[in-house]
Structure formats: C-alpha cells, structure tokens
Amino acid sequence: MAIGGSDIDLARGVGVCRPCGELVEIPAAQPANLVLQPVQPLALYRPESFRLIEQGDGDNYEAAVPPSRLATLPLLFFTLFWDGFMVMWYGIAIAKGIWPMALFGLLHLGVGIFLSHKVLVGMFNTPRLRIADGRMKFTNGPIPAAGRLDAPVADVDAFAVVEGATSSRSGTTTTFSLVANMGNGTSKTFALFLPDRACAEYVAQRFNAALAEAKTRALPSPYRS
C-alpha cells in the first residue's frame, strides 16, 4: 500500500490511505550507528597584505604586529606643520613677553604634544604578545603607550574584536581594536594597528589559539610521577 507524501503527518506519525480512509501509523526513521560530529569553526587565513610575525617552540609563543609606517605619513606632515606653528607662536610670545598670548596657546600646545606622541608611536612602536611560563605579556614599545598587560594566562578568558568609530572633517572612520576579556569581568584594550575586520579577526583567532594551548600546558598531569 502506497501513501502519498501529502497524506502523511510526520508530527503525529500517521498517514491516510485515500482508497479506504484508514489511518496508518508511520514509524519514525531511526538510522543505525548515527554519530553526530561537532561542527568545527572554519579557520581564518591571514589577509595577504597583513603582517603578523609568529614564533613558537611548543612551550613559548611570541607574536609581533608591525604597523604600516606609511599610514602614519599624512599625520606626520600635519603634525610637523602644527608643531612648527606652535614654535613660532611661543617664540613670539616669549621674546616679546606677551604672556596672555602664551596662556591662550596652551590648549593648542596640548594638541601638538598629543599628535607628536601619536606619530612617534606609529613610526617606531611594534606591538608584541608573549606567552611563556604561564604568563601573558603584551607590550607596545619603545615609545611608552597605553595598552600594556602582564597577567597569568589563567586570568585571561579570550581575545575579542571590538568595533568603534572616529570622527573627522572628512567623515566617520570605522576602527577595529583587540581586547582581552579577563576572568574578573573586565577587559583590556590593546593598541594594535588593525586596518579592517578581517585582520582583527585573524589576530584574535591566532592569539586565542596560543592562549588555549598555554592553558592546556598549565593543567596538572593526570598521571602521578
């Protein structure tokens, strides 16, 4: 006896025989030896134009994220112009003893210092991550900069990508940062130079893999010596 697909109710497990009107029980299919495998996340490949230098010997992991120095050139030229103007401004104010003029320029002087520091960081700094001896250390030198971290690997849950935005006269620019989510419910933002989301997610994937491996090595051995 054949029952058409339109006459089968899978939810109730019954079918209707049209010629005789009889309800027929439809047994549920039970595939034998069916084993469900967990779906593994796809590995991200390094974007072609992105530099991430990694080194590891099985026990230690080091990574450097060299920024694009050329990307700092527009800000460098603007900062040179700004600082040159401030030098001239304070040269006149000090030479002629015009102290209100010097006081008025303090805000602009602060902007010049901020821009100069940003240029120096972009031109000379290289962010580095090191995982060794059960600790994770992130530095950004040689110019002092924010975003340093030195903590046990057990205190770090995972790395994640955070999207932000910066506004300027030319419009709004989307920025991508990498944060370390800590076990105490806080997060630490790293000063990385990430041009787009693909690069940010690739770095997060590589750092998370190194962190997971370090945590695995830190687990006590199930075998007694």
pTM given for the model: 0.68
**Low-confidence stretches of the chain (pLDDT beneath 70):** 1-24, 26-42, 166-171, 218-225
For position 217, what pLDDT does the model report? 78
Per-residue pLDDT of 157-199, as tens digits, reads: 999 998 877 665 666 778 888 889 998 989 888 877 788 888 8
Structure tokens at 7: 């006459």
Structure tokens at 159: 């790395």
User: Residues for the chain: how many in total?
Assistant: 225
Q: Which sequence spans correspond to the domains of the chain?
A: 53-216
For position 103, what pLDDT does the model report? 92
Mark residue 67 as left, alpha or beta (left: phi above 0; alpha: psi -120 to 50; beta: remaining): beta
Question: Which of 183, 134, 132 is CA-nearest to residue 155?
Answer: 183
How far does CA 29 lie from the centroid of its chain? 46
For position 106, what pLDDT does the model report? 93
Structure tokens at 187: 């997060």
Position of tokens 């939810």? 11
For position 59, what pLDDT does the model report? 78
Position of tokens 């006149």? 92
